[in-house]
Amino acid sequence: MRRLAIIVTALLLAGASSTARADDVPQMLKWHELPAMPDELGVAGPFVGIDHDAVIVAGGANFPKPVWDHDKVWRDDAYVMTPDGDGYKWLSGFKLDRPIAYGAAVSTPRGIVCMGGADSERVYASCFLLTWDSAAQQIKQTPLPDLPRPCAYGAATLIGDVVYLAGGQSGTSLDTAMTNLWSLDLSKIDAEDGSFAWQQLPPWPGPSRAFNLTLAQNNGFEDCVYVISGRRTGADSMTFLTDVYEYTPSTQTWRPRKDVPTCVMAGTGAAIGQSHLFVLSGADGSLMAKADDLRDDHPGFPKRAWAYHTITDTWIGAGQTPENQVTTIAVKSGHDVLLIGGEVRPRVRTTSAWRITPIAHNVTFGPVNFGVLVIYLLAMVGVGVYFARKNTSTDDYFRGGQRIPWWAAGCSIFATMLSSITFMAIPAKAYAQDWVYIVGNFMIPCVAPLAVFVALPFFRRIDATSAYEYLHKRFNLPVRLFGSGLFTMFHIFRMGIVMSLAALALASVTPLTPAQCVLIMGVLSIIYCTLGGIEAVVWTDTIQTFVLLGGAMLCFGLVMFDLDGGFGQFVSVAMQDQKMHVANFDFSASSYMTMAIWVVVLGGLGQNISSYTADQAVVQRYMTTPDRKMAARSIWTNALLTIPASLLFFGMGTALYVYYKTHPQLLDPTINTDQIFPLFISTRLPIGAAGLIVAGIFAAAQSTISTSMNSTATTLVTDFMRPFDVCKSERGYFNAGRILTFLLGIVGTLIGLLFVSPDIKSLFDNFLWIIGLFMGVLGGLFCLGILTQRANGIGAFVGVIAGVATMVGLNLYSPIHWYLYAAIGIAVCFAVGYVTSLIGPAKLEQHAGLTIFSLDRDTRS
């Protein structure tokens, strides 16, 4: 009766623990059964990894049947599972150097790194690399540096080229469990100076453990190491751990995170998507003391999975699993996870193999939303058709006949500089991180006086169509051509970034693929921009400004409505989790590698000085208004819009963080971080409103693309064709402008297709990196011309070459944070250009009206 009572109690406990939290959540994973291992019993504790698409399962341990009558057997057998058509096949007959089990393993581009392990007598510190030779059909075992101490029952993960091993025990008993974190940099594998060795890193601020999980995932800022659960022995009894710790490699610091809901010792897990960790198996210890009594009546370990979101620090149940295979290693294969072998109940192994796929949320865009999207996009094309009849010359096509109202030009500058980048990437950045980037946005009003009182008078004075006409008058034709060419390269890449950002986000909420989204944006932009010229671009920009700002306000209000505590809860959670953190007051010697406050201020000034003085896409707006005073008003309008818009979009990102922290079950593990706002729009906004805002995102991206198309066509015609009299009539240049706009649209669309990559962690970062790489040098060139009298053409050309070389060098070899690139580009171009100009004689008389020293008072005021 006592034995029956134990069995019944165990079954009730197991049933309760495996379903209480799994049945009330949607299934987040799909399990596909693969061919079983060609081993009679299966093994626990094997080294498992993937090399060149071949999955290797090596070593391990098991109990011969009947399992309760035999001792554990340590194995040296190895098996290989290779792709076979649409499935897999197993190969056997391979051996390790010795029987070994319960070591750690991690798959790398170089092969499978196997660390430590144990047999019946001892624990090992040895490491080796397992690789698969497909031609010879052989496994190769290559020695690697030994661990600092023997280690078994630990776990490892990989970030870049660095392997991290955490946890485990140094002896055969659990009382030797450690708090170790060791790393091995595989990029130094060929080093001859002894640097290729394991490094001991700071231990986590918690108890020692073995049988833990060690996983890596991005936390919104960078890839981190997570140590999860495990077990240890205390003074009187065994402790089953649920604590979680996060290690940040860049600062070598730990912080505790939210505990896993139950112990998952000896479990398996994997990173899925850009911010989720999934625990696929694990033992909770609830029946460990009863294992000898239950024996074959043991119900097995709880069959449930858990999902942890690294950004919001939340755990939820991820559904039930067909088996709970502990003491094995999950392996990533593309976007899927492979789980093979392991232990399913005490002493019982399995030969099962599974391919696990995350399930995307089923988001239905619906016919109403789709109809709104189509109507809106066609309306934008209609704007281009309407203004086509007004274009009769290059002045109409490139400057709108200088009849654009100042407020529309201001909205156009705002939409051009921010557009879909603002609407999606900034909320995503604030959602994933904090408000540090907002300081860079606030540099726009700081730069506005420079644009109004320093740069604008020169462009209006020479009646420029292209900003780079100034460089010709101030320096010479080669400098003009180089600057114009650099701008053209920048905007071609900018088109790719904007289209790929919008496409990746919109594909998550519409029936379209990213490539289809890119094609739709590209084709429609080509139509209305080629037909309507700059007037069509400016007015569509203006429409987007109102749609996107209104949409963001609507979404923010909906989040406040959905939060139980409303705005108070929003502020409370945001402040508690430091999501409104604005500045890093770091002035240390290494702060140039971080987003320290001085880096953000200098970088923001550099980016905006370059954009508002040297970017044809912005300068062209200055020239679309009737006079200089109207152009100045457009700049002030843009600067004033930037402040509330930045607060709105950063606030929206923080609101999304609070919303999904309180509703973690609504997160989709398959989306990129940049898709978080479109996910909210598609699932929470009313029918029709969602379609309108998604259409606005589409059209906003198109307006930015069309801006790049029109402005680059302007520079090509004005800077590369007119100086050489390529066309013999004004009509010829007008037609050339339209043809170039069409061709540039095609090139930009193709670049966008190439840039569509779901692996990009933040497209906002990549966008700012592109700005810094290209535009900083141009900003330095204009500053050199406007702010000095002595600078000459030779000096300017040497300065710009030095600036470009410096940018390339920084990108390839320097740890300097990319946010400083624009400021450094300005400084290098300016300094080198000025010093080089001092070599030759001064010719100040040639610069009348082209520097601040020779600009007359009336023009400057």
**SS3 string of 27-94?**
CCEEEEEECCCCCCCCCECCEEEEECCEEEEECCEECCCCHHHCCCEECCEEEEEEEECCEEEEEEEE
- Neighbouring CB atoms inside 10 A of 553's CB total 13
What local confidence, expressed as pLDDT, does residue 13 receive? 40
Residue range(s) defining the domain that contains residue 405: 374-860
Residues 6+ apart with CB under 8 A from 381: 524, 527, 528
- 825 in a domain, yes or no? yes
Q: What are 105's two structure tokens? A: 């393993």
What are the contacts of 714-718 at 24+ separation with CB within 8 A?
Answer: 714/398, 714/465, 714/466, 714/534, 714/616, 714/620, 715/466, 715/468, 715/484, 715/487, 715/488, 715/616, 716/484, 716/488, 716/740, 717/394, 717/398, 718/398, 718/465, 718/466, 718/468, 718/469
Q: What are 702's two structure tokens? A: 């198109």
What local confidence, expressed as pLDDT, does residue 8 receive? 39
What local confidence, expressed as pLDDT, does residue 458 receive? 86
Together in a domain, 253 and 124? yes
Name the one residue in this structure whose structure tokens are 């037909």.
Answer: 531
Q: Reply yes or no on whether the pLDDT at 206 is more than 60.
A: yes
- 363 in a domain, yes or no? no
Is the pLDDT higher at 818 or at 436?
436
297-316 pLDDT, tens digit per residue, is: 899 999 999 999 999 999 99
Q: Reply yes or no on whether the pLDDT at 181 is more than 70.
A: yes
What local confidence, expressed as pLDDT, does residue 449 receive? 94
549-588 pLDDT, tens digit per residue, is: 888 898 999 999 999 999 999 999 999 999 999 999 999 9
Alpha carbon distance 219, 246 (integer Å): 9
What local confidence, expressed as pLDDT, does residue 845 receive? 56
Range 444-458 average pLDDT = 91
CA angle (45 as vertex; 93, 127 as ends), nearest 5: 80
SS3 304: strand
What local confidence, expressed as pLDDT, does residue 264 receive? 97
Together in a domain, 345 and 388? no
CA angle (303 as vertex; 301, 306 as ends), nearest 5: 115
Percent of the residues in the chain that have a pLDDT greater than 70, as a whole number: 93
Range 181-197 average pLDDT = 94
- Neighbouring CB atoms inside 10 A of 2's CB total 7
Please provide the DSSP assignment of 345-368 as one string.
ETTEE---EEEEEEPPP-----HH
Together in a domain, 455 and 512? yes
Write the CA distances from 552 to 258, 391, 667, 686, 705, integer angstroms. 31, 34, 20, 14, 21
- 365 in a domain, yes or no? no
Together in a domain, 212 and 267? yes
What local confidence, expressed as pLDDT, does residue 537 receive? 85
262-279 pLDDT, tens digit per residue, is: 999 999 999 999 999 999
CA angle (94 as vertex; 88, 98 as ends), nearest 5: 135
Inter-residue contact 323 to 301 (CB < 8 Å): no
Q: Which of 314, 330, 358 is the last residue of a domain?
A: 358
Range 741-757 average pLDDT = 86
Together in a domain, 822 and 771? yes
Together in a domain, 223 and 266? yes
Confidence of residue 21 (pLDDT cuts 50, 70, 90): very low
What local confidence, expressed as pLDDT, does residue 228 receive? 98
Residues 6+ apart with CB under 8 A from 759: none
- 790 in a domain, yes or no? yes
* Listed range (63-72, 210-219, 526-535, 593-602) with the worst mean pLDDT: 526-535
Q: At what angle do helices 477-507 and 730-755 cross, to 10 degrees?
A: 50
- 347 in a domain, yes or no? yes
CA angle (16 as vertex; 14, 18 as ends), nearest 5: 65
Q: Reply yes or no on whether the pLDDT at 16 is more than 60.
A: no
Q: Reply yes or no on whether the pLDDT at 804 is more than 90.
A: no
Write the CA distances from 411 to 181, 402, 529, 582, 638, integer angstroms. 53, 16, 18, 27, 6
What local confidence, expressed as pLDDT, does residue 397 receive? 85
What local confidence, expressed as pLDDT, does residue 66 receive? 94
- 332 in a domain, yes or no? yes
Q: Which of 298, 323, 358 is the last residue of a domain?
A: 358
Together in a domain, 852 and 736? yes
Together in a domain, 428 and 333? no
Q: Reply yes or no on whether the pLDDT at 223 is more than 80.
A: yes
Inter-residue contact 243 to 256 (CB < 8 Å): yes
CA angle (315 as vertex; 310, 318 as ends), nearest 5: 110
What local confidence, expressed as pLDDT, does residue 23 receive? 42
Q: Which of 330, 358, 386 is the last residue of a domain?
A: 358
If phi > 0 it is left, if psi is from -120 to 50 it is alpha, else beta; for residue 116 that is left
- Phi/psi for 309 (5° steps) reads -105, 120
Alpha carbon distance 237, 744 (integer Å): 71
Confidence of residue 764 (pLDDT cuts 50, 70, 90): low
Q: Reply yes or no on whether the pLDDT at 788 is more than 50.
A: yes
b/e burial code for range 653-681 (CB count within 10 A of at least 16 → b): bbbbbbbbbbebeebbbbbbbbbbbbbbb
Amino acid symbol at 756:
V
Query: What secondary structure, in 3-state letters, does 248-267 show?
Result: ECCCCEEEEECCCCCCCEEE
Q: Is residue 753 packed enough to be buried (19+ CB in 10 Å), middle (13-18) or exposed (0-12)?
A: middle
* Listed range (690-704, 788-802, 817-831) with the worst mean pLDDT: 690-704
613-632 pLDDT, tens digit per residue, is: 888 888 888 988 999 999 99
SS3 159: strand
Please provide the DSSP assignment of 616-670 as one string.
HHHHHHHTTSSSHHHHHHHHHHHHHHHHHHHHHHHHHHHHHHHHHHH-GGG--TT
Point out which residues pair with 227 in neighbouring strands: 214, 245
Mean pLDDT rounded to a whole number for the chain:
89
Element (H, E) at 309: strand 304-309
* Listed range (8-12, 400-404, 445-449, 849-853) with the worst mean pLDDT: 8-12
Inter-residue contact 79 to 57 (CB < 8 Å): yes
If phi > 0 it is left, if psi is from -120 to 50 it is alpha, else beta; for residue 17 that is alpha
Together in a domain, 629 and 537? yes
Together in a domain, 26 and 116? yes
Q: What are 678's two structure tokens? A: 């479109």
Residues 6+ apart with CB under 8 A from 156: 104, 105, 106, 113, 115, 163, 164, 165, 166, 214
- CATH number of the domain at 220, please: 2.120.10.80
Q: Reply yes or no on whether the pLDDT at 339 is more than 90.
A: yes
Please tell me the number of Cα atoms within 13 Å of 824 on its side-chain side.
24
What local confidence, expressed as pLDDT, does residue 753 receive? 86
- 475 in a domain, yes or no? yes
CA angle (537 as vertex; 534, 541 as ends), nearest 5: 140
- 367 in a domain, yes or no? no
Name the one residue in this structure whose structure tokens are 């190439």.
Answer: 754
Q: What are 423's two structure tokens? A: 């609407």
Point out which residues pair with 356 in neighbouring strands: 31, 337
- CATH number of the domain at 405, please: 1.20.1730.10
Closest CA to 77 of 41, 106, 109: 41
Percent of the residues in the chain that have a pLDDT greater than 90, as a whole number: 59
Domain count, the chain: 2
Alpha carbon distance 277, 282 (integer Å): 14
Q: Reply yes or no on whether the pLDDT at 760 is more than 80.
A: no
Together in a domain, 535 and 663? yes
Range 652-674 average pLDDT = 93
Inter-residue contact 833 to 780 (CB < 8 Å): yes
Residues 6+ apart with CB under 8 A from 265: 211, 212, 229, 230, 231, 240, 241, 282, 283, 284, 285, 326
Inter-residue contact 115 to 102 (CB < 8 Å): no
- Phi/psi for 139 (5° steps) reads -95, 135
Alpha carbon distance 70, 359 (integer Å): 42
Together in a domain, 823 and 757? yes
